[in-house]
Structure 1
Amino acid sequence: METAGLVLAAGEGKRYGMPKALAKHGDRLLVQHAAETLRAAGCERRIVVLGAAADEVRAAAPDLPETVVNPDWATGMASSLKAGLAALAGTPAIAAVILLVDMPGVTAEAVRRILGHAARDALVMGGYGDRRGHPVLLGRDHWDGVARTATGDRGARDYLRTHDVRVVPVGDVADDHDIDTR
């Protein structure tokens, strides 16, 4: 039973001043860090969804796993989520765990905890005290519903609010803050 990993890294980073996929995090790019987090957690199939500056990202990070380009990246995160799920449609993946490129504090251990609940009908989110956040796991049975309801920068948020979601505590091993400024 394969669970795939998706890194959403297509935005132009308006508030940040450049695409966050090209931003440095330690000795590598944020996009490389996110892809490596998924690998370290046990995701064999990983897809990075690119958009703004896709060619630059690929040139700067030639070691990325499979990439897909979201031609509608400017419409928001939802189109990247849809592009990633569409890329997984023909695979044997039973679920997809989603990471955002700008959350380097989400650790492989947090992803492993979420992956422990993978199933075709699963909806799982990381728990940070009284907040829900990433990583997010979407079982395959929910992909069509998520794709139908995802709009703008809301991604799967509206879908998740109307369904039963398992929240797995990860706040002791991860930080869900996103990087919005340099």
Structure 2
Amino acid sequence: MKPIVAIVLLAAGMATRMGQKGSHKLLAEFDGVPLVRRSALTANSSHAEAVTVVVGHRQDDIRKVLSDLQLNVVANPDYASGMASSLVIGFAAAEANGADGVLVMLADMPGVTSSDLNRLITAFQDGKGESIVRAVSQGKRGNPVILPRSLNDAVLRLKGDVGARYLIKTSGLPVIEVEIGEAAQIDVDTPEAITAAGGIPAES
């Protein structure tokens, strides 16, 4: 049987680099669709078994734009402490626990497509579910990444603003790199980055 992959979509962050006006980057519109919804649709259209979205900052607004989609939304009450707490919540979610690998996807990466996700999933399955899979752009490390189930305990021990990169460095597991082009590097943390990537910042 092929290893099963579940997606954890991280959408809980504070978006602190969006400036004083405080518009939420995940509600910025790309092709008329809020970014977080676009990312969730991309995840849902992939070969992943299940999608869990971790929400925190302004979660009511985020839940509203996801309300009609088939996915599991879980709240991270500790989102202000950094990314690690969202990873822990995502991995602990039921769908993620039954999976052989968890694809960690950041909700602020508008260039990532379902076919990019499928290439990562296929690479993970070809590696028998025992390797870390990482998206790269011309060899430069990027996101998303897939972490095998063997790292679950290590994930659950993470603290602070630490993400998958730390685990990759310390795990000792083989890493399969999958070239997905610029999409692996483009995240939109500022209003300027949203505009440059073809989006329209949300009203605050």
Report the TM-score, using the length of structure 1 for normalisation: 0.89
Quote the Cα distance in structure 2 between the aligned partners of 1:83 and 1:45.
Answer: 15
SS at match of 1:151: coil
- 1:175: Cα distance to partner? 4.5
- 1:91: Cα distance to partner? 4.3
- The answer to whether the 8 A contact 1:47-1:84 is kept is yes
Aligned to 1:70: 76
Cα deviations by residue, 1:81-138 (Å, 9 ceiling, x for unpaired): 1110010477421111111011111111211111013344221101111311111001
- The answer to whether the 8 A contact 1:30-1:101 is kept is yes
Which sits farther off after the overlay, 152-161 or 46-55? 152-161
**Larger Rg computed on CA atoms:** 2
Let me know the Cα RMSD of the aligned residues: 1.9
User: 1:37 corresponds to which letter in structure 2?
Assistant: T
The answer to whether the aligner puts 1:152 opposite 2:157 as a matched pair is no
More helix by share: 2
- The answer to whether the 8 A contact 1:9-1:20 is kept is no
Q: Which of structures 1 and 2 has the larger relative contact order (alpha carbons within 8 angstroms, sep 6+)?
A: 2
User: Is there any run of 5+ residues in structure 1 with no aligned partner, and where?
Assistant: none
Quote the Cα distance in structure 1 between the aligned partners of 2:96 and 2:51.
Answer: 14
Aligned to 1:23: 28
1:35 to 35, 40, 52: 40
Q: Percent identity?
A: 38
User: 2:148 corresponds to which letter in structure 1?
Assistant: G
User: Is there any run of 5+ residues in structure 2 with no aligned partner, and where?
Assistant: 192-204
User: 2:119 corresponds to which letter in structure 1?
Assistant: R
- The answer to whether the 8 A contact 2:26-2:36 is kept is yes
SS at match of 1:116: helix
Aligned to 1:167: 177
Which sits farther off after the overlay, 65-74 or 31-40? 31-40
